[in-house]
Amino acid sequence: MPRLAANLTMLFTDLAFEDRFEAARRAGFQGVEMLFPYDIPASTLRKAANRARMPVALINTPAPNWSGGPRGFAAVPDNTPLFQRDFLRALKLARTLKARHIHIMAGNASGDDAHRAFIANLTWAAAQDPDQSLTIEPINQTDRPGYFLSDFDQAAAILEQVGAANLGLQYDAYHAQMITGDALEVLQRHLSHIRHVQIAGCPGRAEPTGGQIDYPAIFAALDRAGYDGWISAEYHPAGLTEPGLGWLSDMQGTKARSIR
């Protein structure tokens, strides 16, 4: 089974951010991801990750206001200087944290100009550090109206057009289910492009149990494909994080350790 990461932006939110690394380790996760960790000193994050022995799987490019502002600028025409500045900021942080992936946020845009801007910005970003893995992620229009990248076939075509070895697909099963109604089919169709996987329940984006997504089938498909990347828990717990971690112990075949 691939390694399991905890999204520290969404999980263990009753704790100070730097304490969430250790909480995730004790709960049974093997790594972490963070959405927009730009308000905390990089040295603080690095020390917390090292102390807990938790590798960083992924960070996002910056968003000016996570609670309701833009989600990136990579596909927004005439915003290339802002995108480049933000990407270099993300690249610096990823190097400090040794983050495996940087998720490049497309932002809200539409049309041919947006497509051309996205291609140009992705091509530029991929060239900045060929050893840094980059991802793009389709996001459903219910949760993020107007987001440019909202279809997995669209994402695959963009990846083919850019043709960069260090650029791949971020597959979020929740978004795949919301977009198509068949997360498993999306996974099977786009396995060759997938670099990072995220999971959550659907509907509701809570714990990845029950609901519309057949996670045993998802995990079995990943195993058959030899996927050896991260599977990250990116969901909003129904309550405190620990009481809802039964899915984690079931998935690993062991009882998750309690957080003290």
How far apart, in whole angstroms, are the C-alpha atoms of residue 222 and residue 108? 31
Which structure tokens are listed for 85? Answer: 């500045």
Active site residue 18: no
The residue annotated as part of the active site, out of 22, 137, 207, 242, is: 137
The residue annotated as part of the active site, out of 22, 33, 207, 234, is: 234
* Relative orientation angle of helices 152-162 and 173-180, to the nearest 10 degrees: 120
Burial 130-160, CB ≥16 within 10 A → b, else e = eebbbbbbbbbeeebeebbbbebeebbebbe
How far apart, in whole angstroms, are the C-alpha atoms of residue 215 and residue 231? 12
Which structure tokens are listed for 245? Answer: 């971690």
DSSP-derived 3-state class of residue 207: coil
Active site residue 160: no
Q: Which residues participate in catalysis according to the annotation?
A: 137, 234
